[in-house]
Amino acid sequence: MAFAHYIAAVAPSLETAKPHLKSSILTPPLPSLSNSILSLGFSSLSTKLKAPKLSFFSKFSRTGQKVKAKSQEPEVSPVVDSFGQFKHLLLPITDRNPYLSEGTRQAAVTTASLAKKYGADITVIVIDEKEKESFPEHETQLSSIRWHLSEAGFQEFKLLERLGEGKKPTAIIGEVADDMNLDLVVMSMEAVHSKHVDANLLAEFIPCPVLLLPL
């Protein structure tokens, strides 16, 4: 291609110089000869380069059509498809904050959003090692749970309380998930960081997937 551009650049320069050539009987005019040589050279060169150029773009066009057709195929996200299979969600409450901690509020909103979007049911379980009588603001905490779920668009849910049993919260969550045949447990990493839930025991005690939300 560089050679073709070079020939094309030389041709005008020769023609530009044409008026300065002096014609005489002994010196035949050169423009016709030079033009014919350049014409033949450029013609043969373009003929050689023409076929590969057409072949290349033809191949590129076909490839582009394949890529475009492939991009139009609908793709289903495996994550979205998996969430659609969860029809009963468990929301464990392990902190003693009567107005719920930031992590618990996040878990409540996420659980309500998933249940509302995929038509699932919610069971809330409040777990505390101590008896209800030792927690005067227990009713305030239950009201906070109802308020946050309602604000997220979910009013109807089942509420369980497992208080003062002396069992680890992870074991209680596993028992409830197994007995009720739950599909997903939603909780915040805050429960793990605060030592309310032992992350090492999650896989051992909980028989269903667990969604741990980052802080």
Q: What is the pLDDT of residue 78?
A: 52
Asked whether the beta carbons of 132 and 163 are under 8 A apart, the reply is yes
CA-to-CA separations, 42 to 22, 48, 53, in angstroms, rounded = 27, 10, 16
Burial 136-166 (b: 16+ CB within 10 A, else e): eebeebbebbbebbeebebeebeeeebeeee
Q: What is the pLDDT of residue 199?
A: 83
List the structure tokens of 37. Answer: 């040589």
d(CA 27, CA 13) in angstroms, rounded, equals: 20
**Predicted model pTM:** 0.63
pLDDT at residue 211 greater than cutoff 80: yes
pLDDT at residue 121 greater than cutoff 50: yes
d(CA 207, CA 150) in angstroms, rounded, equals: 28
Per-residue pLDDT, averaged over 171-191, amounts to 94
Asked whether the beta carbons of 210 and 187 are under 8 A apart, the reply is yes
Per-residue pLDDT, averaged over 79-98, amounts to 84
Confidence of residue 215 (pLDDT cuts 50, 70, 90): confident
pLDDT at residue 126 greater than cutoff 70: yes
Q: What is the pLDDT of residue 30?
A: 45
Write down the H helix ranges in the chain: 2-17, 31-71, 78-83, 102-118, 138-151, 169-179, 189-193, 199-205
Per-residue pLDDT, averaged over 127-151, amounts to 92
pLDDT digits (tens, 9 = 90+) for 22-68: 443 344 444 443 444 334 444 443 444 444 444 433 333 344 444 44
d(CA 86, CA 84) in angstroms, rounded, equals: 6
Per-residue pLDDT, averaged over 103-123, amounts to 95
pLDDT at residue 192 greater than cutoff 80: yes
Mean pLDDT of all residues belonging to the chain: 73
Q: What is the pLDDT of residue 57?
A: 37
Domain 91-213 sits in CATH at 3.40.50.620
